[in-house]
Structure 1
Amino acid sequence: MIRGIRGAITVEENDSHLILEATSKLLKDMIKKNNINPERVAQVIMTVTDDLDATFPAKALRAIEGWTYVPVMCMREIPVPNSLEKCIRVMMTVETDVSQEKIQHVYLEGAISLRPDLASK
C-alpha cells in the first residue's frame, strides 16, 4: 500500500542553519516514528512559506545516510493570508503495510497548531 506521511515544523527566522537543523529534526522524527526505510520511499515533497528562502530544506534529507537516491523536491506553500509563518512542511510517499490510522504524522514547534489532533498521537 502507498501512504502519505505528513510533517511540519516552524523556525524562528529565515536562516539557512536554522532551516536545515529544523528540517533534519523533523525528518529524523518522521523516519523513526514510522520506521521508514528509504528504499520504500517513492518521493519526498517539501514546501516552505514565502518568508523562508535562505536555503533548500532538501539539503537536510541529503545529509541523512541512505537517502541519496530518494527523489525530493522543494516548493512554495500557498500564501494564504494569516496562515502560519516560517513553516516547513514535508510529505513522504511511502510503501508500507501500516494502516492509515496508525501512520505517525509529526508536527513540531509552532506547526502543532496545524493539526493538534494528530500532533498528540
Structure 2
Amino acid sequence: MVRGIRGAITIENNTDAEISIATKELVQELILKNDINPKNVAQVLFTVTQDITAAFPAKVLREFADWSYVPVVCAVEIPVPNSLPFCIRVLMTVNTDVEQDEITHVYLREATKLRPDLTLTNE
C-alpha cells in the first residue's frame, strides 16, 4: 500500500544552517519512528511558510545515504493570515504494509500546535 507520512517543524531564524538542522531533525525522526527505507519512498514533498527563504529543505535529503534517487520538491505554503510562522512541513509518500492508523506522524517544536491529535512528544 501507499501511505502518506506527515510532519512539521519550526525554526526561529531564516538561515540556511537553521533550516538544514531542523529539516534533518524532522526527517531523522520520521525515518526512525516509521522504519522508513528510502527504497520504499515514492516522493518527498516539502512546503515552507513564506518567511523561509534562505534555503531549500529538500537539499538535506542529499546528506542521507541511499536517498539520492528519491524525487523531492519544495513549495511555498498558502499565506493564510495568522498561520504558524517559520514552519517547514513534509509529506512522504511511502510503500508500506503498515496500516494507516499505525503511521507515526511527527510534529516538533512549535509545530505541535498544528496537529495536537497526531503530535509525537519528545521523550
Q: TM-score, normalised by structure 1?
A: 0.98
CA-CA distance at 1:27 after TM superposition: 0.1
Query: CA distance change for structure 1 residues 118 and 15 in 2, over 3 Å: closer, same or farther?
Result: same
Determine the structure 2 residue equivalent to 1:90: 90
Determine the structure 2 residue equivalent to 1:105: 105
3-state DSSP of counterpart to 2:79: coil
Q: Is the 8 A contact 2:108 2:120 kept in 1?
A: no
Determine the structure 1 residue equivalent to 2:81: 81
Q: TM-score, normalised by structure 2?
A: 0.96
Q: Deviations over 1:33-82 (max 9, x none)?
A: 00001000000000000000000001111111110110000000111000
Determine the structure 2 residue equivalent to 1:58: 58
Q: Match for 2:24: what amino acid?
A: S
Q: Match for 1:7: what amino acid?
A: G
Taking the aligned partners of 1:88 and 1:79, their CA distance within structure 2 comes to: 13
Determine the structure 2 residue equivalent to 1:39: 39
3-state DSSP of counterpart to 1:75: strand
Q: Match for 2:114: what amino acid?
A: L
Number of residue pairs matched? 121
Q: Is the 8 A contact 2:38 2:67 kept in 1?
A: yes
RMSD: 0.8
Q: Match for 1:30: what amino acid?
A: L
Q: Is the 8 A contact 2:26 2:108 kept in 1?
A: yes
Q: Which runs of 5+ in 2 are unaligned?
A: none
Taking the aligned partners of 1:96 and 1:29, their CA distance within structure 2 comes to: 17
